[in-house]
């Protein structure tokens, strides 16, 4: 599963959980981001990954934990469906959520990011466990050039 697939699945889940808010990928230039939505926004970005020990079972396989930062931006902390409500909805809606092809998601932490002119930001870190599997390569095997078939009655057939 690619990072884009994972992010798309998380965005879809968050849009489902928070229909009255802006939900989108983290902007390419975060310092230029301006909250324009009247209630608030939720921004998602890949924050890094961790790999477990390899298992060689004919193919290289590794457990992989993808970590996601979900930044919540709101004009209020408590009132009008403020930031606290958003954090609770995120916690409830994402704990145990299973992206197709992955294990169940779990929360790592949540923390204050900033407050500027009454715009509050908190971040929630979510782990989505998955598996890293090597890409199958074509093996350079001998080419079959001639086949000899012998049936139960001793009849032989040669196939060029």
Give, for all 160 residues of the chain, the pLDDT tens digit. 899 999 999 999 999 999 999 999 999 998 889 999 988 999 999 999 999 999 877 788 999 999 999 999 999 888 877 899 999 999 999 999 999 999 999 999 999 999 999 999 999 999 999 999 888 777 777 777 787 888 888 777 777 7
pLDDT of amino acid 159: 76
Beta bridge partners of 131: 63
Domains of the chain (ranges, CATH numbers)? 3-159 (3.30.2000.10)
pLDDT at 134: 86
105 contacts 95 by C-beta, under 8 angstroms: yes
Interior/surface letters 11-39, b for 16+ CB within 10 angstroms, e for the rest: bebbeebbeebbbeebeeeeeeeebeeeb
What is the C-alpha to C-alpha distance for residues 24 and 66, in angstroms, rounded to an integer?
A: 18
pLDDT value, residue 98 = 97
């Amino acid at each position: 599963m690619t990072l884009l697939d994972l992010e798309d699945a998380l965005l879809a889940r968050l849009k489902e959980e928070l229909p009255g808010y802006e939900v989108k990928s983290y902007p390419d230039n975060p310092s230029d981001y301006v909250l324009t939505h009247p209630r608030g926004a939720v921004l998602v970005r890949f924050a890094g990954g961790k790999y477990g020990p390899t298992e060689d079972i004919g193919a290289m396989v590794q457990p992989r934990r993808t970590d996601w930062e979900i930044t919540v931006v709101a004009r209020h902390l408590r009132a009008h469906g403020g930031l606290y409500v958003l954090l609770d909805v995120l916690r409830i809606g994402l704990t145990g959520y299973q992206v197709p092809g992955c294990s169940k998601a779990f929360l790592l932490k949540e923390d204050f990011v900033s407050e500027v002119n009454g715009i509050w930001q908190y971040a929630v870190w979510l782990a989505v466990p998955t598996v890293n599997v090597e890409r199958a390569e074509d093996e350079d095997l001998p080419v079959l050039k001639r086949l000899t078939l012998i049936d139960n009655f001793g009849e032989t057939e040669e196939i060029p």
